[in-house]
Amino acid sequence: MKVAIITDQHFGARNDSIAFLDFYEKFYENTFFPTIDSAGITTVLVLGDTFDRRKYVNFYALDRAKKMFFDKLAERNITVHMLAGNHDTYYKNTNEVNSPDLLLREYDNITVIDTPQTIHLKYEDTSYDVCMMPWICPENYSNSMAEIKNTSAEICMGHFEISGFAMYRGMESHEGLDPTLFQKFDLAFSGHYHHRSTKGNITYLGNPYELTWQDYNDPRGFHIFDLSDRSLQFVENPYTMFERFEYDDTGFDPDGIDTSFAESKYVKVVVVNKTDLYKFDKFMARVYNNNPYEVKIIEDFSEFNEGAVSSEIDLEDTMDVLNNYIDSIQTDSDKEKIKTYLKSLYTEAVNMEVV
């Protein structure tokens, strides 16, 4: 029996950005649904953080999410088991009030799992037990530990914060559950951290698409899992939202570069060498003509020695670092207002006279 597993969809992310909703839709229309159709998938497991905000929803974003994802699942009569993640729950100490339960009740094919339990997935004459664990909070902690201890399931799926795994590429968490808690299971799959990684029997599946610059050049997608032979197939999302281009007019003629990479993207142009200002301006004009959502130019590498900067390192200015941090944290406050306030403080600070 094959099932599709997807997690951390974050409908409504980036302040309900229409650009990101369009980006999501390309993935579902051209990758997700064609893949599960061809594989004959009849069951989808969603491992939490279906929605981005804990305390309110944008109705336009909700309507787009229903049309691009939930309606299409219902049309196919696909059974969905959906965990409540930390972004889905209104309170921090209980999962009792959660957005999937409140917003998706019209769909008879969706079962929202907001308490720890073992489900039974049946295929022909075989039943497969899966321990399903929503976000662990103070109210359900004891029941969660009891379910993990007592379940007879050999496979566990949840929305966990486990110590020793990367939240983002190169950013490891040192807090959370002890990995040995899951040693009884043959396999444990989790949402929550957006970077795909595996240690021992535990796999973080990662989210389906790029959301911030921290996700750049880090493959995203969803998985097909075969319950009978325990094989896990990663289906990569071919669409990206962030594009980084190194400009060096000593190594190429800027007039001959195809700038279509910038179309409907967030773009960083990293200036390694700029010897002809006129050609650079022409190049940037062609970049902007592709209607990117945002363009940032990063230059002045004088503080770095030749060869000291790896091609895999994304050099960011102070505001980039602050904005990416704000995007990555969980907060009920308006992130755009926080960014604007920090920008004003930063501008004031860099223009202060040193006494």
Confidence label for 344 from pLDDT (cuts 50, 70 and 90): low
Confidence label for 331 from pLDDT (cuts 50, 70 and 90): confident
Which residues, in sequence order, are CB contacts of 231 under 8 Å at separation 6+? 225
d(CA 244, CA 295) in angstroms, rounded, equals 10
d(CA 220, CA 222) in angstroms, rounded, equals 7
CA distances from 258 to 56, 244, 253, 271 (A): 42, 14, 11, 17
pLDDT at 315 over 60: no
How far from chain centre, in Å, is Cα 62? Answer: 18
For the chain, which residues make up each domain, given as ranges? 2-236, 242-350
d(CA 15, CA 43) in angstroms, rounded, equals 30
pLDDT at 306 over 90: no
pLDDT of residue 302: 52
pLDDT at 263 over 50: yes
pLDDT at 2 over 60: yes
pLDDT tens digits along 176-193: 999 999 999 999 999 999
Structure tokens at 224: 């097909």
DSSP string, 74-125: HHTT-EEEEE--GGGBSSSS-SSSBHHHHH-TT-TTEEEE-S-EEEEEEETT
Confidence label for 320 from pLDDT (cuts 50, 70 and 90): confident
pLDDT tens digits along 79-132: 999 999 999 999 999 999 999 999 999 999 999 999 999 999 998 889 999 999
Instruction: Kindly state the average pLDDT of the residues 45-49.
Output: 98
Question: What is the average pLDDT value for the chain, to the nearest integer?
Answer: 91
pLDDT tens digits along 192-201: 999 999 999 9
pLDDT of residue 336: 79
Confidence label for 349 from pLDDT (cuts 50, 70 and 90): low
Structure tokens at 86: 């930390």
Residue entry with tokens 């229409």:
18
pLDDT of residue 232: 98
- Please report which residue ranges of the chain form alpha helices under DSSP H: 13-16, 18-27, 33-39, 59-65, 71-75, 99-103, 141-150, 277-288, 318-328, 335-350
Count of CB atoms situated within 10 Å of the CB of 36 = 24
CATH 3.60.21.10, applies to 2-236: yes
pLDDT of residue 309: 47
Which residues, in sequence order, are CB contacts of 215 under 8 Å at separation 6+? 168, 194, 207, 209, 242
pLDDT of residue 67: 98
- Please report which residue ranges of 238-313 form alpha helices under DSSP H: 277-288
d(CA 172, CA 197) in angstroms, rounded, equals 11
The torsion angle over the Cα atoms of residues 41, 218, 165 and 226, rounded to 10 degrees, is 20
d(CA 45, CA 180) in angstroms, rounded, equals 24
In this prediction, what percent of the chain has a pLDDT beyond 70?
A: 92
d(CA 114, CA 89) in angstroms, rounded, equals 9
d(CA 311, CA 229) in angstroms, rounded, equals 39
d(CA 269, CA 290) in angstroms, rounded, equals 14
d(CA 49, CA 340) in angstroms, rounded, equals 26
Q: Give pTM, 2 decimals.
A: 0.85
d(CA 164, CA 92) in angstroms, rounded, equals 23
**More confident call, 7 vs 334:** 7
Structure tokens at 222: 């969803």
